[in-house]
Structure 1
Amino acid sequence: MPLKTYKPTASFPLRPLACAGAMLAVLMVGNASAQNFPITPEQRATAGQVAQAGVALSELAPNAPDSYTVKRGDTLWAISGLFLKSPWRWPELWGMNLQDIRNPHLIFPGQVLYLDKSNGRARLSTRAPGAQGDDPTTVRVSPRTRFESLGDSGIPPISLQAIEAFLTEPMIVDEATFERAPRIVATQETRVLLSRGDRAYARGQYSSGAAGEALSEGPGKSRDFRVFRNAVPLKDPTTGEILGFEAQYVGKALLERGESTREVTDAKGKVQSELVPATIDIVVAKEEMRVGDRLLPEPPRELPNYVPSAPNSTQGGQIVSVYGNAVSFAAQNQVVAINRGTVHGVERGHVLALQRESHLVTDKTDTARPQLRLPGERNGLMMVFRTFDKVSYALVLQITDSVKVGDRFTNP
């Protein structure tokens, strides 16, 4: 729904802070159903407590500003980090502003957040400290009409651009699922490579090996498929256990006709059964495809709802891989895979602390040259944004030094 601004009278009295709260309420109502971001009972309870008592000044960031104007491109993580020592403690930030911001997922550019540190407690509000609700400030505005999509203007919890491609491209599958996945078996005119707009043929049912399910157009069957190749095993750095297979995304295909069989009579009058592969059309091509690439059904589209929070249970594990071809180290805003998933209680939005590995050094100041074990140090923070059974993907949000396979993580 477009937002329309009307022309006021020459000295039309506006109460900017009150109007901001009222407009925010309208924006929330209009956008809440579209985004449908979850707020857990625990988060709401925490916010309610903080809204009443405020936050201890010791919990504020050392350089917390007295006010901040929300800008396009901001994230909830970044705004939380301005005011709090621990950015993942967003319920406190929300609770400090519970009166004006009833849904932390709906903060918009142009809002001014004020930090009130009176009475030894900190509170955040869209009202300047000491401002009265009936302040008769007169504001002159120029007449203009502005249209804006409300669905795209809300401030996200983290930078979705950093993980947008990750929501559709890599997929973790078990070995059996990948072996049973339908595969491209032939092309038109014996082409070696396929691109967008090409037609190819695929099979899902085999007589040998891991027999899969035939590609069909029956009720409840998917016609949309992602095309993958080179399922790389993700192994636990310590135990060597294969946690899953990371399939390389190369494009998408649409099933036009299912596979079947037909009876034919040969020259000797003998009736034989012929296999007719399924017909697929390549609709998206990130890379050129070829015979042998696998097909997996297009999963339901998910609405990102990543809310940074600390895990409720004790978590600890290691980095399994750094995503990207020939990438050995991860920096800020890069993606890593970790050896913990839903079976371990890991959820989307969990913030984890990266640890620099401890190592041995020689004390050269001692004539005996003893070996000293230096303790591991915190190296940064990452946030889980996609989970599987035993593996999860996380985005590196803060980093001191680079991250590599085998590095450990703990609760923040």
Structure 2
Amino acid sequence: MRHPLVAAMLAISCAFTASADVLTIKKDAPKQYVVKKGDTLWDISGVYLNEPWQWPDLWQMNPQIANPHLIYPGDALTLIYDKDGNPRLVKNARYKKLSPEGRITPKGKQAVPTLPLELLRPYLSYEQAISADVIAEKPYILGASVNTKMNTMDHILYVKGDLNLNEAYAVYRKGSELIDPTSQEVLANKAELVAIVRAFRSGDVANGIPASVKIELIKQEIRPNDFLMPAMDGQLLPAYFTMKRPDTTMNGTIISSATELREFSTMDIVVLNLGSDQVKPGFVLDIQRQSPEVFDGANGPRYREDSTSLEKLITDTNDFLGVEADEDSKVWHMPKEKVGELMVFKVYDTVSYALIVKNQHPIRVGDYAVIN
């Protein structure tokens, strides 16, 4: 029987392909749908789509549903097509009875509050955040049954470590450091999944006998010093996320992303410098960006990058000394503005992973994750 993580990996690879497809509405999809108690966005999208993870495209650009997470039992939704022929769900001003059996569910006080793991699955990366000290204690790859750096499904791998016989292990590679932008402290290291293996010899480190494993799934070449963890460690996410705004103020920063691209968007995964003492899975935070400062001097208002070297020097000196510039030469420090929202789904001691659920502009490393 295939290991659950292996099956999940295969499901993800298929889902990424499907997510790029044009929306296709089911042939038996209703023209109208009344939200029932217990419905989720996943449930409702599944009524209309064979691939419900495409829900952002179905709900986007609808002024009637400014926030699709805030639909309530009793709300009536109608399937329409925009000027480009794209299907969209909109909320009716009032419910129209479609048949003698149709009934309105009384509107409750609670909006649709949950997000199933299945909705996130196509976008999850099997990346973890682990401290370098913990990584150093893990079993690691010594070599293989053949003298090659490109280990494949047919190769046997040897491991320095005492493994449990017949247990599945995930092979990870130590990645880049996750650094707090304020303290410059290394919070953790990224750990990227490269393979799934199964132990058929347990090994005995004390007597110099390596453990032996066979490869069950491989994402990329396995290298010496890649480390092992039980396959399900860090992968046991809740089946449903209760989406909520934290009750307290919160100030964090996006310090990395799963893609390592310069900019990212809805359904991309980012890393925050907020740990388990600050956030929980399901927390929804605003993404804010600092507006650029303006130097207002003799030559008129200009952004910092357009200012002269002397103006920058004066600005930096005044900031360092904590003094105000004169009235004819002033730096204006602008406020932060909201550019999107994210939902935390995986939490570690010092960092957390979050899914961007909405954005008005491309999101970048350095943007803030806050609750004011």
TM bin (shorter chain): 0.5 to 0.7
Aligned residue identity for 1:176: D
What does 1:290-309 correspond to in 2, within 5 Å?
Answer: 290-299=223-232, 301-302=236-237, 304-309=239-244
Q: CA deviation at 1:324?
A: 2.0
Q: 1:353 aligns with which of 286, 290, 293?
A: 286
1:226 aligns to what?
170
Q: CA deviation at 1:183?
A: 0.4
Q: CA deviation at 1:378?
A: 0.9
1:400 aligns to what?
360
Distance 1:336 1:408 in 2: 11
Tell me if the contact between 1:75 and 1:159 (Cα under 8 Å) persists in the aligned partners.
no
* Correspondence 1:378 to 2:322: no
Distance 1:174 1:216 in 2: 23
- Cα distance change on mapping 1:328 and 1:134 into 2, 3 Å: closer
* Correspondence 1:316 to 2:251: yes
Distance 1:362 1:159 in 2: 47
What does 1:207-218 correspond to in 2, within 5 Å?
Answer: 214-217=162-165
Aligned residue identity for 1:178: I
1:6 aligns to what?
none
- Cα distance change on mapping 1:306 and 1:244 into 2, 3 Å: same
2:122 aligns to what?
164
Distance 2:337 2:90 in 1: 34
1:203 aligns to what?
160
Distance 2:250 2:196 in 1: 36
- Cα distance change on mapping 1:175 and 1:134 into 2, 3 Å: closer
Q: CA deviation at 1:317?
A: 0.7
1:237 aligns to what?
181
Q: Provide Cα deviations, 1:227-273, integer angstroms capped at 9, x if missing partner.
A: 11123221111111222221121111111110127xxxxxxxxxxx9
Distance 2:170 2:102 in 1: 58
Distance 2:46 2:269 in 1: 30
Aligned residue identity for 2:212: T
Q: CA RMSD in A?
A: 4.1
1:285 aligns to what?
218
Question: Residue 164 of structure 1: SS of its match in structure 2?
Answer: helix
Q: CA deviation at 1:70?
A: 5.5
TM-score, with structure 1 as normaliser? 0.59
Distance 2:102 2:138 in 1: 66
Aligned residue identity for 2:144: T
Q: Provide Cα deviations, 1:38-65, integer angstroms capped at 9, x if missing partner.
A: xxxxxxxxxxxxxxxxxxxxxxxxxxxx
2:133 aligns to what?
176
- Cα distance change on mapping 1:160 and 1:223 into 2, 3 Å: same
- Cα distance change on mapping 1:277 and 1:396 into 2, 3 Å: same
- Cα distance change on mapping 1:76 and 1:186 into 2, 3 Å: closer
Tell me if the contact between 1:162 and 1:334 (Cα under 8 Å) persists in the aligned partners.
no
Q: CA deviation at 1:362?
A: 2.0
What does 1:75-86 correspond to in 2, within 5 Å?
Answer: 75=55, 79=59, 83-86=64-67
Identical-pair percentage: 21
Distance 1:69 1:178 in 2: 40
